[in-house]
Structure 1
Amino acid sequence: MSPSSRFTARRRSLAAAGAAAALALALAACGSSSSSSSMPGMDHGSKSTASSSPSASQAMGDMPGMDHMATGNGLSDTKDGYRLTSKDATLPSGKQAAYRFTVTGPDGKPVTDFALDQTKRMHFYAIRSDLTGFQHIHPTMTDDGTWSADLGSLTPGSWRMFASFTPAAGPGKGKDFVLSRTFTVPGNATKTPLPAPAGSTQVDGYTVTVKGEVMAGMAHPLTVSVGKDGKPVTDLQPYLDTYAHLTAFHEGDVAFAHLHPTTKVTDDHGGPSLNFHAELPTSGNWRLFLQFQTGGTLHTAALTLHVG
């Protein structure tokens, strides 16, 4: 073979090797496309980059109250085959009344095995359509799966009740659900205007301050501080495995959200500042209800938070 022929053959060999290397790189890139979700803006179909990250999920699981996070806004009575049923379409006004309901599973049978979530097997909420009259109750269940929630005095109007639970068995085992139904309290209903957004409110002599700029659909820290007589409160007692329980309802459609605490409970000396993981799905005004306990007494503070 002449020198020129050997040179030509060598060039062809190098070209082939380069093409093979380029093809290998292309195939590697295609095979690793699933990892592109870790890049900003590439996590299609997920709520947020943090929620799709295994390390973030594990970190949340280490936070008090973060091992259970219900999804959705709670405005349906069915999800994944589970259904909330009740024969109580109306309840009397001006006096205590029991609301009875049942949760049925995908097999159509009443669910009777529920896991503990913040020390309770069922959390029941009732709120009027104008976001007044908030009640948070832990109902009792009979052997046949019928729950009974003893409500306090109700004012006339349209109400929505929410049932928050986690099945301990069956297809939905370990998954958190929030289902709801509406009921009516007959009488002359007068709508109460929603108070304007504010950074603080007072209840039972305590001042509750909320700080944090929350954006719709984005996880954001929220800080709640409790004071009394101008001094920070440091004797908050554990309530439902946390120093404060925070629930939110959206103005207009009464969508539900539970803001999860991240402050670790150690003893009866919680406060004055508490941290929450806030992820409110919709912009607009939300009515926040903060429940905390001191000296064996439960206090419920309410304020309006605007979400951009």
Structure 2
Amino acid sequence: MSITSRFPLRRRGLAAAGTAAVLALALAACGSSKGSSGSSVPGMDHSSAPSASASSPSMGSMPGMDHGSTATGDGLAAGKDGYQLTSTVGELPAGKAGDYTFTIKGPDGKPVTGFAEDQTKRMHFYAIRSDLTGFQHLHPTMAGDGTWTAGLSALEPGSWRVFASFTPDGGTGKGKDLVLSRTLTVPGDAKNTPLPAATSSTEVDGYTVTVKGELMAGMAHPMTVSASKDGKPVTDLQPYLDTYAHLTAFHEGDQAFAHLHPETKVNGDHGGPDLSFHAMLPKAGNWRMFLQFQTGGKLHTAALTLRVS
């Protein structure tokens, strides 16, 4: 599976021992919705990696993971622990940008307006097509009444799933990382793209990203992601969202969600060439990973397939 670039990002520990989704690899940056900075990868094709225009520790105690590991669960439900992702948007037109509006309701049934910052953002929003193409990562904006707006780039026809990743800043869920999702339909002639075969490296924007380490479902294993360019180690990775790497992964077949950060501590614009992770994926099979990292003020995004036995 090839990994290529998206380096900075996110936190918190795998919950539910043996089932929490932990995936550690990543390379910078999130896409941004209207009014927020970041990057998205509209219509990402499986056949090529997109660019942005687009000692294993015990669970719950992973040394060096200052930002935490991953949110609890696989993100495939619209509700969890009394919190609910609600939206009146069930369909968006194909081929043009569109707004996805939504609200997070708390256990009291009222819209939540207090959110803690995670990697400098109060909300991370993702969109992925059922064949694991078209990945977008945005930072929506919230109105005073708790309504969030994510400005999605043009979507290809097909079935999509959108994820909201957040941490309540009050109430019964205070301090808890949550990921909720809903499905979205884009009408038109949907043509699925076969998932690329698993590989250990990939290229994007002239960078080569290589992954070393083997993953087994439900078990934490060390993993290293290395970046090079023109055959030389990359040592100028820049911090983005408080870290050098950001990784989001989706499981083939059900779109289960996982998100992790490198253990490597941030030291100015001197990240790389190696980023260390402790990765644990709860399910066997293929996972499509989207990595983002930043160099020279530019965000790069790479996609690759990782096989978990």
The answer, yes or no, to whether TM exceeds 0.5 is yes
Name the residue aligned to 2:33: none
What is the CA distance between 1:277 and its match in structure 2?
2.5
Residue 50 of structure 2 corresponds to residue 63 of structure 1:
no
- Give CA deviations for 1:119-163 in whole Å, capped at 9, x if unaligned: 110010000000000000010000000000111111000000000
Name the residue aligned to 1:105: 106
Name the residue aligned to 2:12: none
Name the residue aligned to 2:176: 175
Contact 1:64 1:263 in 2 (8 A): no
Would the alpha carbon gap of residues 297 and 143 (structure 1) be closer, same or farther in structure 2, given more than 3 Å must change? Answer: same
Contact 1:74 1:179 in 2 (8 A): yes
- How far apart in 1 are the matches of 2:59 and 2:285? 27
SS in 1 for 2:131: coil
- How far apart in 2 are the matches of 1:244 and 1:57? 21
Structure index of larger Rg = 1
Name the residue aligned to 1:217: 218
Give the letter for the 1:47 counterpart: G
Name the residue aligned to 1:280: 281
- How far apart in 2 are the matches of 1:158 and 1:237? 35
Say how many residue pairs are matched. 258
What is the CA distance between 1:97 and its match in structure 2?
0.9
Contact 1:251 1:287 in 2 (8 A): yes
1:72-151 residue pairs with structure 2 within 5 A? 72-151=73-152
What is the CA distance between 1:118 and its match in structure 2?
1.2
SS in 1 for 2:62: helix
- Mind listing any 5+ residue stretches in structure 2 that lack a counterpart? 1-15, 23-56
SS in 2 for 1:125: strand
Contact 2:158 2:189 in 1 (8 A): yes
- How far apart in 2 are the matches of 1:62 and 1:292? 19
Residue 201 of structure 2 corresponds to residue 200 of structure 1:
yes
Give the letter for the 2:62 counterpart: M
Contact 1:244 1:291 in 2 (8 A): yes
Higher relative contact order (CA 8 A, sep 6+): 2
- How far apart in 2 are the matches of 1:99 and 1:276? 33
Would the alpha carbon gap of residues 130 and 227 (structure 1) be closer, same or farther in structure 2, given more than 3 Å must change? Answer: same
Name the residue aligned to 2:18: 47
Give the letter for the 2:148 counterpart: W
- How far apart in 2 are the matches of 1:282 and 1:263? 26
SS in 1 for 2:203: strand
Larger helix percent? 1
Name the residue aligned to 2:191: 190
- How far apart in 1 are the matches of 2:158 and 2:70? 30
Would the alpha carbon gap of residues 62 and 272 (structure 1) be closer, same or farther in structure 2, given more than 3 Å must change? Answer: closer
What is the CA distance between 1:247 and its match in structure 2?
0.9
- Mind listing any 5+ residue stretches in structure 1 that lack a counterpart? 1-44
- How far apart in 2 are the matches of 1:178 and 1:58? 18
- Give CA deviations for 1:191-228 in whole Å, capped at 9, x if unaligned: 00000000011111111111110000111222111111
Give the letter for the 1:130 counterpart: D
What is the CA distance between 1:59 and its match in structure 2?
4.6
Name the residue aligned to 1:257: 258
Give the letter for the 2:66 counterpart: P
Q: Report the aligned-residue RMSD.
A: 1.7
The alignment-based identity, stated in percent, is 72
Contact 2:291 2:303 in 1 (8 A): yes
